[in-house]
Chain A
């Protein structure tokens, strides 16, 4: 039981490039979330999903896109990367919005 896994662990992206951060959970959780964590700023919700085929915006969705074609996977797409998207990205999952969230190890992304 691996829990929530994220790839890659680290990545450097050039301004204007695009990439996809991968997130997979093996707990059959309905809810999945993407957060970004910036120093001194806490965690901000980017997007979340309540089940396959359903996604919704969080607090800071601009510049990102998501899809949820399966229960297990919730990839985060960055289009036209900007330096402001330099951050640590965390994926999380929970059985419902009432249950505890489980986090992945994070992806540290630098945009230069």
Chain B
């Protein structure tokens, strides 16, 4: 059974620093992996979608990488800002399933 883990559960970082959020999954047979952002009391906003054949995707200050064989993905945030404070979730779509599996998220706090 596919399991998705995000460690740490919470992270505080001074403004301006570059940071990396981690996501690991137990079964490398995935079709794609998606990173989301969730602000308190709000829905999820899709940040990046990486297909299994890709190694990374970039959007502005965000870069997501995927190492399928080791079951890992990272979300790199450059030059962090207080507005980046949110919970970040990753989700994988197993190869033989229509449903995606979510991690529990990392709650990020950028200190001004």
Q: In the complex, A21 Cα to B49 Cα: how many Å?
A: 28
Q: How far is the CB of A44 from chain B (nearest CB, A)?
A: 8
Sort chain A's interface into a size bin. 20 to 34
List, in ascending order, chain A residues with CB within 8 A of B93's CB.
97-98
The one of B43, B46, B91, B105 in contact with A104, judged by C-beta atoms closer than 8 angstroms, is B43
List, in ascending order, chain B residues with CB within 8 A of A99's CB.
49
Q: In the complex, A59 Cα to B97 Cα: how many Å?
A: 12
Q: Is the CB of B34 within 8 A of A48?
A: no
Sort chain B's interface into a size bin. 20 to 34
Q: Is the CB of A101 within 8 A of B43?
A: no
List, in ascending order, chain B residues with CB within 8 A of A106's CB.
41-43
A-B complex: 7 closest residue pairs judged by Cβ atoms: A42-B104, A103-B43, A103-B44, A97-B98, A100-B49, A43-B102, A105-B43
What residues make up the interface of A, taking CB atoms closer than 8 Å to B? Answer: 4, 31, 33, 40-43, 45, 48, 50, 56, 58-59, 90, 92, 97-106
